[in-house]
Amino acid sequence: MSGTSQHMSHSALRDYENKYYKGLKNGEFKVKVSDSTYRCPFCPSGSKKDYLRRELFRHACNVGRDSKSTGWKEKARHSALETYIKRYLYRERSLEPVPKRSKIESLKPSNDQQFVWPWMGIVANIKTEFKDGRRVGESGAKMREEFAKEGLNPLKVHPLWTPKGHSGFAIVEFNKEWDGFKNAMDFERSFEVNQCGKTDYISRRNGCDKLYGWVARSDDYNSQGVVGGYLQKNGDLKTVSEKQAEDERKTNKLVLGLTHTLETKNIQLKEVRSKYIKTSASLDKLMVQKEDMIRTFNDEITRMQKTARDYFKKIFMDHEKDRMLLEAQRNDLENIEKELQHRQAQNKTERQRLYHEKKMQNEKATLEQKKADEKKEKETLHAQILDLQRKLDARQALELEIQQRRGALEVMQHMGEDEDVELKKKMDAIRQELTEKEEDLEAMEELQQTLVVRERKTNDELQDARKELINGISALSVRAGNVITVKRMGGLECKPFVSAAEKKGSDDGVLAMTLCSEWENYLSDPSWHPFKIVKDKSGKTKEIIDEEDDKLKFLKNELGDEVLGAVTSALMELNEYNPSGRYTIPELWNSKEGKKASLKEGITYLLSQWKYHKRKRA
């Protein structure tokens, strides 16, 4: 059966069950034949028979739960009958109106009898048979299941045995609380309704095969035999009022315990609240101190920024003054040059030669002096770095010693308020030494800051010198075979594109320039980042070209490995020199070794060019 048809069957089953349940309530189907006999209105006419109420209930349960031999309509009818028996037939004697009472009063009998507690019921006249030399009877688990179907909720059913076998009696145990007492009384009433109570058992037990049942009371507890022995071993006698008083005592004891716990928690809450108030006040004080520190810091930063602006403004004004002075001097020199050209036209070539020689000599002297200054500055910087490293090590050792001194001081402070004179002297000495160490640390930090500033300034000067050297070499004429050149890092070579265009049958160069220009645009796009991060053998991460990038795979398939190599080389250079801007950067380059040239190599090359031009003019 599919999921949809199965859902429809369950829905139809519920509808049929409700329909027949209403019919039973309204009297459309006759169930009761006499005071003690009943008949199933849904069984076929040929198989109808009379049942006791419990037997009819069992019949309805079996048919309603049988999923193999009956149809779902038949199951719906008997499920409705089962519900009707539980809700009406078992309670039809308790439907008369009674005065409203509390839960305990409704359970309490008219006279304050003694019951066996935990609440127990007695089942008598259980059918037994002789088998294998002793009498056997129905198991306790089966009887418990039958009582549970009737809504009596027993905990256990213990058949009572004697040396000869099953005694024909069983003890039914119920919950120790009041709901268990109610179930025990319902258990007794269910037997009394069918004239199977204790009185009926005493008067009619001979020759009758019915089951009898009642709640165990004092007479059963004090009786001789297997029933009394079991009750005396597993229970006590209590009246309902005694049980109620015992519950009240337990409740009062629980209330007292909870009251004491509540008082203790209230005291703890007051202590926590007091600690919270103190901590909150301390935090407020710290926040005020923090705000004052931030305000002082901001004022100092503002002052430093103002000083820096004034300083840069002064430098700019001095620069402008020097620029105007140089401009005036340049104009004067141009006028002098024109006058000399006018007056000494015959010696123009000689004068120009002398002038250029003097200029190149000055440049040579300047470059040599700059080279010497840079070498001296590098040596000084290296010495400063070594000295800074030594001072950093000393500073770390000093910080460690300060921390140790502080720890020792805190230990001494925690040793108690009643210290002796010797201990106080030691603490004062440690405080004095700690103050001196902290002053040494502050002095060392100031010296370190000064050295860092000087290092940055020297590095900036070296970078400026490198830029001027790049500009100077760029202004020279480029010859084939030059070792030191200026290379545009990230620039794309067009030669591989020309070769690829020739392979495709294009000789006019237009296709090559178009392809080269297109890939230069790709290289300048920061959103295209065909790199991936990998780890080398030492565990450090680095970026390499992602060969699975769609554009690079297309480039390799369309134009070949030579063009791919040119593009990936330009990509690596851009990623190293300008990954964010994606435009080319001029760099001093050693074309012979294929690497960035040093400042010394550039100066040496520039001097060699000067000597070459000097010889050429001579």
Lookup: tokens for 519: 């890939």
pLDDT for 151 equals: 84
In DSSP notation, 302-318 reads HHHHHHHHHHHHHHHHH
Distance CA 59, CA 49 (A): 11
Instruction: Please state which of the ranges 179-188, 199-208, 252-261 shows the lowest mean pLDDT.
Output: 199-208
Query: Average pLDDT in the 258-279 region?
Result: 88
CB neighbourhood size of 101 (10 A) = 10
CA angle 199, 125, 47 (to 5 degrees): 105
Query: Quick one: three-class SS letters along 221-246?
Result: HCCCCHHHHHHHHHCEEEEHHHHHHH
DSSP state of 48: -
* Half-sphere exposure at residue 599, Cβ-oriented, CA atoms within 13 angstroms: 18
Lookup: tokens for 248: 């009240």
Residue 105: pLDDT over 50: no
* Half-sphere exposure at residue 424, Cβ-oriented, CA atoms within 13 angstroms: 5
Query: Average pLDDT in the 126-134 region?
Result: 82
pLDDT for 368 equals: 62
Note the pTM of the prediction, 2 decimals. Answer: 0.31
pLDDT for 194 equals: 81
CB neighbourhood size of 460 (10 A) = 10
Pairing of strands 114-117, 120-124: unpaired
Q: What are phi and psi of 238, to 5 degrees?
A: -145, 145
Q: Which of 506, 536, 579 is nearest to 515 (CA)?
A: 506
Query: Quick one: three-class SS letters along 230-297?
Result: HHHHHCEEEEHHHHHHHHHHHHHHHHHHHHHHHHHHHHHHHHHHHHHHHHHHHHHHHHHHHHHHHHHH
pLDDT for 437 equals: 73
For residue 586, list its beta bridge partners: 488
Dihedral angle over CA of 362, 364, 365, 369, nearest 10 = 140
In DSSP notation, 4-30 reads HHHHHHHHHHHHHHHHHHHHHHHTSS-
Task: Band the pLDDT of 90: cuts 50, 70, 90.
Answer: low
Q: What percent of the chain has pLDDT over 70?
A: 77
Instruction: Please state which of the ranges 28-42, 121-135, 219-233, 479-493 shows the lowest mean pLDDT.
Output: 479-493
Distance CA 81, CA 410 (A): 86
Distance CA 146, CA 157 (A): 11
Q: Please, which residues have CB within 8 angstroms of residue 581's CB and are 6 or more apart in sequence?
A: 526
Distance CA 331, CA 555 (A): 56
For residue 237, list its beta bridge partners: 116
Residue 464: pLDDT over 70: yes
Query: Average pLDDT in the 362-373 region?
Result: 60
Lookup: tokens for 452: 């860092």
Q: Please, which residues have CB within 8 angstroms of residue 82's CB and are 6 or more apart in sequence?
A: 57, 60, 61, 64
Task: Band the pLDDT of 521: cuts 50, 70, 90.
Answer: confident
pLDDT for 492 equals: 81
Lookup: tokens for 359: 């200029």
Instruction: Please state which of the ranges 102-116, 264-278, 341-355, 513-527 shows the lowest mean pLDDT.
Output: 102-116
Lookup: tokens for 377: 């500055």
Q: Please, which residues have CB within 8 angstroms of residue 173's CB and are 6 or more apart in sequence?
A: 118, 119, 120, 154, 155, 156, 157, 158
pLDDT for 121 equals: 93
Distance CA 595, CA 584 (A): 16
Lookup: tokens for 616: 């050429």
Task: Band the pLDDT of 615: cuts 50, 70, 90.
Answer: confident
Query: Average pLDDT in the 298-312 region?
Result: 89
Lookup: tokens for 254: 């629980």
Residue 554: pLDDT over 90: no
pLDDT for 357 equals: 60
pLDDT for 134 equals: 82
Query: Average pLDDT in the 516-543 region?
Result: 81
Lookup: tokens for 592: 């012979």
pLDDT for 412 equals: 61
- Indicate the SS3 state at residue 122: strand
Lookup: tokens for 597: 């040239």
Task: Band the pLDDT of 421: cuts 50, 70, 90.
Answer: low
Crossing angle (nearest 10°) for helices 53-65 and 72-87: 150
Instruction: Please state which of the ranges 176-180, 375-379, 463-467, 471-475 shows the lowest mean pLDDT.
Output: 375-379
Task: Band the pLDDT of 3: cuts 50, 70, 90.
Answer: very low
118 upstream amide cis, omega within 30 of 0: yes
Residue 617: pLDDT over 90: no
The larger pLDDT score, comparing residue 130 to residue 617, is at 130
- Indicate the SS3 state at residue 414: coil
Going from the C-alpha of 561 to that of each of 150, 524, 535, the distances in angstroms are: 90, 21, 26
Which of the listed ranges 68-82, 247-261, 400-414, 598-612 does the model predict with the highest average pLDDT? Answer: 247-261
Q: Please, which residues have CB within 8 angstroms of residue 340's CB and are 6 or more apart in sequence?
A: 351
Going from the C-alpha of 193 to that of each of 102, 106, 169, the distances in angstroms are: 25, 19, 20
pLDDT for 4 equals: 37
Residue 260: pLDDT over 90: no
In DSSP notation, 415-449 reads T-SS--HHHHHHHHHHHHHHHHHHHHHHHHHHHHH
Task: Identify residue 192 by its one-letter amino acid code.
Answer: E
pLDDT for 107 equals: 45
pLDDT for 372 equals: 64
Torsional class of 228: left (φ above 0), alpha (ψ -120 to 50), beta (otherwise): alpha
Which of the listed ranges 69-78, 90-99, 238-247, 591-600 does the model predict with the highest average pLDDT? Answer: 238-247
Lookup: tokens for 487: 């290379």
On average, the pLDDT of the chain sits at: 77
The larger pLDDT score, comparing residue 105 to residue 70, is at 70
On whether the CB atoms of residues 530 and 546 are closer than 8 A, the answer is: yes
The larger pLDDT score, comparing residue 117 to residue 577, is at 117
On whether the CB atoms of residues 427 and 409 are closer than 8 A, the answer is: yes
Q: Please, which residues have CB within 8 angstroms of residue 67's CB and are 6 or more apart in sequence?
A: 75
Task: Band the pLDDT of 110: cuts 50, 70, 90.
Answer: very low
pLDDT single digits (tens) 155-177:
889 898 888 888 889 999 998 88
Whole-angstrom Cα Rg for the chain = 55
Quote the distance between the C-alpha of residue 196 and its chain's center.
67
DSSP state of 111: S
